[in-house]
Amino acid sequence: MSKHDAVEVIVAKRDGAELSDSQIDWVIDAYTRGGVADEQMSALAMAILLNGMNRREIARWTAAMIASGERMSFASLDRPTADKHSTGGVGDKITLPLAPLVAACGVAVPQLSGRGLGHTGGTLDKLEAIPGWRAALSNDELLAQLGEVGAVVCAAGDGLAPADKKLYALRDVTGTVEAIPLIASSIMSKKIAEGTGALVLDVKVGSGAFMKDAARARELAETMVALGKDAGVHTVALLTDMDTPLGFTAGNGIEVAESVEVLAGGGPADVVELTLALAREMMAGAGVDDVDPADKLADGSAMDAWKAMIRAQDGDPDAALPTAREQHVVTAPSSGVLTRLDAMAVGLAAWRLGAGRARKEDPVQAGAGVVWHARPGDEVTEGAPLFTLLTDEPERFDRALESLDGGYEISTSSIAGADGGASYTPAPLIVDRVS
Amino acid sequence: MSKHDAVEVIVAKRDGAELSDSQIDWVIDAYTRGGVADEQMSALAMAILLNGMNRREIARWTAAMIASGERMSFASLDRPTADKHSTGGVGDKITLPLAPLVAACGVAVPQLSGRGLGHTGGTLDKLEAIPGWRAALSNDELLAQLGEVGAVVCAAGDGLAPADKKLYALRDVTGTVEAIPLIASSIMSKKIAEGTGALVLDVKVGSGAFMKDAARARELAETMVALGKDAGVHTVALLTDMDTPLGFTAGNGIEVAESVEVLAGGGPADVVELTLALAREMMAGAGVDDVDPADKLADGSAMDAWKAMIRAQDGDPDAALPTAREQHVVTAPSSGVLTRLDAMAVGLAAWRLGAGRARKEDPVQAGAGVVWHARPGDEVTEGAPLFTLLTDEPERFDRALESLDGGYEISTSSIAGADGGASYTPAPLIVDRVS
């Protein structure tokens, strides 16, 4: 197949032209097979980042990546399917309570996930804190578990969109991650190939998110929603705040524990709010409108589904979670209202404590992470614990403390009723909805 | 040396920032040593192509490429030195008469040249048509020949600007050739490292040139002149026309023959004009103003220098040049004045006949090429020869003829004195001078 050549395609995009369907099909296929070299694809990725792609190009690019591998089908299930994808945030453990909750509501959740890289944690890393739990399932195991339990969180196999896998690794080392057409096509090619019937996208915006800027987050959400709809997947996106981390924990084992609190009917208000909002979108997308997921949290059926889901992948949901060997407490330097808790600062601290990895092949610590004892809007007292830092390696504390430096603000004038101070109201968690 | 990392440098340029001296030094050094991968450098090259570099960045980039290898010095010579670089044109054999002519005028010419790729021929390919002549000289041989003969045309050694050599090969396959900062730094790093005292740049503009557009050609010329001056090299650029090919020949042996005509005091008027203009610039740059190069063509001393230069590299200047085994004549389809002869059409035809190469490792035919029997402004007669196509492989004629199709125009109304027709005046050869 020498219908095109790599330089021709690169030069076309470099010079601002639209790529033809034939050029896109050729370049993705040739790249997957090795006929287009990494140095050619990275130049093309940079040209796409700087010159953009229109909707038709992005749709074709996504279709070509899907065509590079296998497509799964859940048509044999007796239930509709719905999946959720988050663009990544600090303390974002939502998948853990969400998947069993939606399963308990009668919608099957095939959640193919990844590991974390950088300051946002990976869902698989969190679940691997549970003794015995395994991330790798064959396609047959996945389908069987979906039928029996209704929820699966597992590692995406190599068969789905191999072009994306190769391109994602390349973008990571060539400064071409931040291209909306490439982000959107990367996420959506895997989700469409996976075969879910409905999809809810949680697009994070704020300091701890990949997208710092609301306009770009909205553009990404709109692009992905359009791609999903074109492919016949019922797709909705929520834009949600990531200036502040979710809940009170960022790490692996400690996020599992917080998720179990939610499944037990408690847990942080923001985690509960976002879990329920996403669950309702998934159920609406799947066409189920006669169940309120809040009831399934209250009556214990979401917890039952969680335990079944963990046991199906050889995990023990009742076993004690691993804890860190060392801890360091940061106390509040003054009394007042916490008005800012920076998600990026917390995420970096957790990462530096060993909860995340710098390179793909690095291990993570199951017990490491950051617990914060107040959220924006809460009053804090001088000398009382504000953060607890957890790690197995105490030499990590110094750099984690550096990350937190300047990452929060305590305002004395914002105490409700204090002289001249307006009371502080945190920003809303759910910023917008794109459908 | 891990002061920077590749993604940081790529992202800075991608986002429109100026690269610091330290970033530029690091990335060129690391790329030369293999610490920055090809796929990272190609992404950076694309970002440079689309976002540009300012004068300081280009100067530093050039200096870093020079620092990647050895620098030569001609300080031990008893004469000043001057070199010429052409950005490449069709029928551009000017180096062949120019180097011995300037040597005959008392200025030493160290001309490190390359082979051709694509539709413009390479100086070394042309000289290799001369029986026995060899392009490869050691630095000691080069210096000795400069002292004895005063002129050397040879292959650039691997020691000069190895970063450029690696980057040039990469740009060729990644659609990043056409970046003025990268073109300028590539040319100037080699010329500055070579150690010439004066440099004249022949920047071609027109259909057969790398730069089709006068504004971009001028920008390239200004960029290179500034780089040369900053490095202490007396540098001047001429912008010259390349809508029309030079002389009457494009090929290897046939261009040597045409060059020898010029050295013998004859030859095409445009080749003589450009050779003398460049010679005068080189001499002025070298500070020699008491010799008229036209006299050295007329009195045979340029021819003597030519023969000495060829013999010094084991060539036989009196041997018959190789000729093509097959020829095909194209006759004029009508009578009138030739008003257009397209350099790109002629260059492609010569390339397709075997005078040039598609890949670096391909051989070229010494006898192949195109001879045209009229230049714009000349009258032609229906049925008389217009082109002679030369090759060893007659199956090449068809594609060469395709290239020529539409590549020339004959106007009946432009015959001087014909009813209502204005007489046709070709465009000037030397368009502008940048100093």
Angle between helix A253-263 and helix A301-312 axes, rounded to 10 deg: 140
**3-state secondary structure at position B309:** helix
* CA nearest to A9 within chain B: B175
> What pLDDT, on the 0 to 100 scale, is given for residue B120?
74
Taking only the tens place, the pLDDT of each residue in A84-94 is 999 999 999 99
Residues of A in contact with B45 (CB under 8 A): 43
Residues of A carrying an active site annotation: 85, 164, 171, 186, 190
- B234-273 pLDDT tens trace: 999 999 999 999 999 999 999 999 999 999 999 999 999 9
Has residue A435 got a pLDDT over 80? yes
For residue A41, the chain B residues in CB contact (below 8 A) are 39
- What's the mean pLDDT in B407-431? 75
Query: What pLDDT was estimated at residue B47?
Result: 98
- Determine, for residues A173 and B41 on separate chains, whether the beta-carbon distance falls below 8 Å: no
Average pLDDT over residues A200-211: 94
CA distance A187 to chain B (A): 22
In B, which residues are within 8 Å of A39 by CB distance?
Answer: 37-39, 41-42, 170, 173-174
CA distance A39 to chain B (A): 4
Query: Is the pLDDT reported for residue A279 higher than 90?
Result: yes
pLDDT above 90 (res A414): no
- What pLDDT does A425 receive? 83
Of A14, A44, A174, the CB nearest to B10: A174
Share the mean pLDDT of chain B. 93
Place of tokens 């970046």: B179
The pairing of strands A336-341 and A379-380 is antiparallel
Average pLDDT on B209-230 reads: 95
Computed over every residue of chain A, the mean pLDDT equals 93
- How would residue A118 be classed by pLDDT, with cut points 50, 70 and 90? low
Alpha-carbon distance B249 to nearest alpha carbon in chain A (angstroms)? 30
pLDDT of amino acid B2: 64
Q: What is the pLDDT of residue B113?
A: 86
> Quick one: average pLDDT of B151-155?
95
Residue A429 has pLDDT above 70, yes or no: yes
**Nearest CA of chain A to the CA of B38: how many Å?**
6
Rounded to an integer, the average pLDDT of B103-107 is: 97
pLDDT tier, B325 (very low <50, low <70, confident <90, very high otherwise): very high
Residues of A in contact with B41 (CB under 8 A): 39
Please report the pLDDT score of residue B422 as a whole number: 52
Q: Judge: domain B326-411, CATH 3.40.50.2300.
A: no
Question: Which tens digit of pLDDT belongs to each residue from B56-78?
Answer: 999 999 999 999 999 999 989 99
Written as one letter, the residue type at A205 is: V
User: Which residues does chain A have within 8 Å of residue B23's beta carbon, measured at their own beta carbons?
Assistant: none
For B161-190, write each residue's pLDDT tens digit.
Answer: 999 989 988 998 999 998 999 999 999 999
Rounded to a whole number, what is the distance in Å from the CA of A34 to chain B's nearest CA? Answer: 14
Please answer yes or no on whether B38 and A39 come within 8 Å at the CB atom: yes
* Average pLDDT of the residues in A389-402: 97
Q: Provide the pLDDT confidence category of residue A116 given band limits of 50, 70 and 90.
A: low
CA distance A371 to chain B (A): 31
Q: Chain A contacts of B175, Cβ < 8 Å?
A: 6-7, 10-11, 14, 40, 43-44, 47
Give the pLDDT band (50/70/90) at residue B425. confident
How distant is the Cα of A88 from the closest Cα of chain B, in angstroms?
21
- Cβ neighbours of B37 in A, within 8 Å: 38-39, 173
Domain A82-312, CATH number (from 3.40.50.620, 3.40.1030.10, 3.30.365.10, 3.40.50.2300): 3.40.1030.10
Per-residue confidence (pLDDT) for residue A427, from 0 to 100? 87
Question: What is the 3-class SS of chain A, one letter each residue?
Answer: CCCCCHHHHHHHHHCCCCCCHHHHHHHHHHHHHCCCCHHHHHHHHHHHHHHCCCHHHHHHHHHHHHHCCCCCCCCCCCCCEEEEEECCCCCCCCHHHHHHHHHHCCCEEEEEECCCCCCCCCHHHHHCCCCCCCCCCCHHHHHHHHHHCCEEEEECCCCCCHHHHHHHHHHHHCCCCCCHHHHHHHHHHHHHHHCCCEEEEEEEECCCCCECCHHHHHHHHHHHHHHHHHCCCEEEEEEEECCCCCCCEEECHHHHHHHHHHHCCCCCHHHHHHHHHHHHHHHHHCCCCCCCHHHHHHCCHHHHHHHHHHHHCCCCCCCCCCCCCEEEEEECCCCEEEEEECHHHHHHHHHHHHHCCCCCCCCCCCCCEEEECCCCCCEECCCCEEEEEEECCHHHHHHHHHHHCCCEEEECCCCCCCCCCCCCCCCCCEEEEEC
Among B13, B23, B174, B182, the strongest candidate for a mutation testing the A interface, having the largest count of A CBs within 10 A, is B174
Rounded CA-CA distance B373/A168 in Å is 57
Q: What percent of chain B is modeled with pLDDT above 90?
A: 86
CB contact under 8 A, A175 and B37: no
Percentage of chain B beyond pLDDT 70 is 97
Whether B233 has a pLDDT exceeding 90, the answer reads yes
Using a CB-CB cut-off of 8 Å, the residues of chain A touching B44 are 175
Q: Per the CB < 8 Å rule, is B47 touching A50?
A: yes
* Whole-angstrom distance, CA of residue B119 vs CA of residue B121: 6
Q: Distance between CA atoms of A105 and B414, rounded to whole angstroms?
A: 86
Which of B6, B14, B173 is closest, CB to CB, to A50?
A: B14
- Return the domain boundaries, chain A: 6-52, 82-312, 326-411
CA within 13 Å, CB half, A44? 27
| Contact (Cβ atoms closer than 8 angstroms) between residue B224 and residue B187 | yes
Which pLDDT score, from 0 to 100, does residue B295 have?
Answer: 97
Average pLDDT of A302-325? 97
- Residues of B labelled catalytic: 85, 164, 171, 186, 190
Which residues of B make CB contacts under 8 Å with A? Answer: 6-7, 10-11, 14, 37-47, 49-51, 170, 173-176
A15, A40, A42, A117: best mutation site toward chain B, by most B Cβ within 10 Å?
A42
- pLDDT band of A172, cuts 50, 70, 90: confident
CB contact under 8 A, B50 and A46: yes
Question: Is A42 within 8 Å of B40 when comparing Cβ atoms?
Answer: yes
CATH classification number, A6-52, choose in 2.130.10.10, 1.20.970.10, 1.10.1740.10, 3.40.640.10 = 1.20.970.10
Nearest to B50 among A38, A42, A50 (CB): A50
pTM of the entire structure? 0.87
Q: Which of A111-120, A340-349, B196-205, B278-287 is the least confident region?
A: A111-120
Chain A residues close to B39, C-beta within 8 Å: 37-39, 41-42, 170, 173-174
**Which residue out of B39, B44, B168, B170 would a mutagenesis test of the A interface target, given it has the greatest number of A Cβ atoms within 10 Å?**
B39
Q: What is the number of CB-based contacts under 8 A between chain A and chain B? A: 92
Q: How many CA atoms lie within 13 A of A16 on its CB side?
A: 2
* Residue A412, pLDDT score: 85
Summarised one tens digit per residue, pLDDT across range B373-392 is 999 999 999 999 999 999 99
What value does the mean pLDDT take over residues B340-351?
96
